[in-house]
Amino acid sequence: MSTPLNKLQSMFHKPSVLELDLARGVIEIRPNSPLQAMQVLNATTMSALRDAVTEAIKDDHVKGLIVHAANNTLPVSMLDEIALEIERFGAHKPTVAWAETFGELVPSLAMYKLATAAKEIWLQPSGMLTIEGYESQILLLKGGFNKLGLEPEFGQRHEYKTAANTYAADEVTEPHREMMHSLVGDLLEDAVRTIAKRRGLDEGFVRQALDTSPVTPERALEAGLIDHIGYRDQVYSTALDAWGAKPDELRYVNRYNLKPDIAKALSGRKRKKIGVVPIRGPIVTGRGSAGLNGQTVGADHIDEQLRAAQRDDDIVAVILDVDSPGGSAVASDFVRRGVLQLRESGRKVVARMGGMAASGGYFVSMGADEIVALPSTLTGSIGVLGGKLVTQGLYEKLGLVRESVKSTEDGMLMSPAEPFSEDEWRRLNEWLDRVYEDFTSKAAEDRGIEYGQLESMARGRVWTGAQAVERGLVDYLGGRRVAQERAALLAEVDVDDVDIVPVGPGGLLGKLVPAASSEAVGGTGGTQPLGAESMLKAMLREMGLHVDGALSLPYRITIR
């Protein structure tokens, strides 16, 4: 029944066909750095996509969704979360995905998997399905280091914390190979199951299609892998005609949900909130930084947000939005303490894991009431590593002379100028044992798992989200929507009757305003000076190498 309020709200609703163009890019969240945020003002964020889908499902003026499944560099986990939103929309309204090609002899299984979330798939006549399995390459650097005169000296806990292999091994160890095969194999099995379920195909048939890739459009149509062969103009004309829509009704998803919520504004009722605390990037002590290669996240800044959530009586639950390879053991433990204190205040806490929540990323998550991860999330890596690259040989090769003047005989444990002495190596390993025992014992306590069982799953091993659920390291599979639903259920509120908000000041102006005290939240973290050391660290991070602390995933795992 139409009411005056509904009529007023409808003034802001126009007939629409939503578009999600992955060629234009999708970002997780807007950067903390105001300058970086301004560069992506028009980008579609995951929150904008999620909010648009939530609103469009209820909006009778929205007729359907067209997805351009364009090849890009988005990680598998992000494509999976986008697919969940496409499926959520498609449970109520028609969806179409189209692509010029799914790879040109370059694997594009992840993008095709996303396209299967739509009810119909179109493929250009000259395109193809290059949907062979996933690949992750292992790089060993010892030969290159030898040529440079660099000597790696690392300790690790334990055999699956394979940074030492990356730096110092001549060949891939069996635990390293086993872990990587397990990760890639599990991701492939998830893709096969998902594609088969969405397309109504037999899993064995899907595996056969992967083995015979690339697949021509004609073969793909005959096999039921796609629904139509055609170009963009044919996709749009067919969809718009079927839905009774016109080209001027097309709207990008990030341009759709810009109208005010009249019902909320006029209700006069103060709604409860679920706060979101992002933990993205390497975890460090202090404020963190936005610099040359993305950002690090500071434990002090995270703790400020957790304490701010405690002070806000309207916040009933908090979601930790974690996408981090880990970092400092001290920083990670500091954040975990803040999470436990937040729970003691009566707030419910759910950790939502993105593409990666490994090592320190798992440490900051494990104290939550519940953990939600995607099947393709890389998590676990409950272990520790530490050491250094000794540069003495490099200096000698370059003909440089360097002499260290020390105030104490053994006062330069981590100096790259010289190798560990026998006593220094002993002290390093004692510290590694201490950190590992602390990590594993707290993980067992937080997850309610007997220590021996937990330790057997730790040892530095990385698990997919699906594998982690099977082992009790994670509670539920899903994306942000599932995390919101779990947080609302734990807090005993309706997920559609709460506001999902960032904790602390919002907007560009809020990010620029400094905090008045340590009990306030304001501004971003620190800034990263563009010195030689920070530039070198940025370069090493870009190569996927360990530079950010004892609880780091030791290398970047890229699945393609």
DSSP E strand stretches across 46-117? 62-68, 95-99
In the chain the domains, ranked by start, together with CATH numbers, are 8-132+213-262 (3.90.226.10), 270-552 (3.90.226.10)
Q: What is the DSSP string of 146-196?
A: HHHT-EEEEEEESTT-THHHHHH-SS--HHHHHHHHHHHHHHHHHHHHHHH
Average pLDDT over residues 82-100: 98
In the structure, what pLDDT confidence band is assigned to residue 530 with cuts at 50, 70 and 90?
very low
- In angstroms, rounded to a whole number, what is the distance separating the alpha carbons of residues 322 and 362? 9
Average pLDDT over residues 528-543: 50
Closest CA to 117 of 153, 47, 43, 65: 65
- In angstroms, rounded to a whole number, what is the distance separating the alpha carbons of residues 211 and 445? 44
- In angstroms, rounded to a whole number, what is the distance separating the alpha carbons of residues 262 and 256? 16
> How confident is the prediction for the chain on average, in pLDDT?
87
Which is higher by pLDDT, 31 or 501?
Answer: 501
Active site (annotated) includes residue 359: yes
Q: Which of 108, 324, 359, 381 is catalytic?
A: 359
Active site (annotated) includes residue 147: no
Decide: 90 and 119 in contact? Cβ < 8 Å. Answer: yes
Amino acid (1-letter code) at residue 237: S
Q: How many Cβ atoms sit within 10 Å of the Cβ of residue 520?
A: 16
Decide: 388 and 414 in contact? Cβ < 8 Å. Answer: yes
pLDDT at 328 over 90: yes
Structure confidence at residue 223 (pLDDT)? 96
Residue 188 CB-density burial (10 A; 0-12 exposed, 13-18 middle, 19+ buried): middle
Decide: 381 and 460 in contact? Cβ < 8 Å. Answer: yes
Report how far Cα 215 is from the mean position of its chain's Cα atoms.
31
The DSSP bridge partners found for residue 502 are 276
Q: How does strand 120-123 pair with strand 228-229?
A: parallel
The string of pLDDT tens digits covering residues 437-466 is: 999 999 999 999 999 999 999 999 999 999
DSSP 8-state symbol, 144: H
Query: How far is CA 363 from each of CA 66, 308, 320, 343, 532, rounded to the nearest angstrom?
Result: 39, 21, 12, 16, 31
Average pLDDT over residues 187-192: 96
The DSSP bridge partners found for residue 151 are 390
The string of pLDDT tens digits covering residues 2-31 is: 455 555 555 556 789 999 999 988 888 766
Kindly give the interhelix angle for 46-58 and 480-491, rounded to the nearest 10 degrees.
70
pLDDT at 193 over 70: yes
Decide: 432 and 156 in contact? Cβ < 8 Å. Answer: yes
Average pLDDT over residues 321-342: 96
Closest CA to 523 of 539, 532, 510, 541: 510
Q: Which of 161, 273, 442, 537 is catalytic?
A: 161
pLDDT at 36 over 60: no
Least confident of 84-88, 422-426, 527-531: 527-531
Structure confidence at residue 395 (pLDDT)? 87
- In angstroms, rounded to a whole number, what is the distance separating the alpha carbons of residues 443 and 426? 26
The string of pLDDT tens digits covering residues 269-320 is: 689 999 999 999 999 999 887 654 457 899 999 999 999 999 999 999 999 9
Query: How far is CA 460 from each of CA 98, 183, 361, 389, rounded to the nearest angstrom?
Result: 41, 14, 13, 21
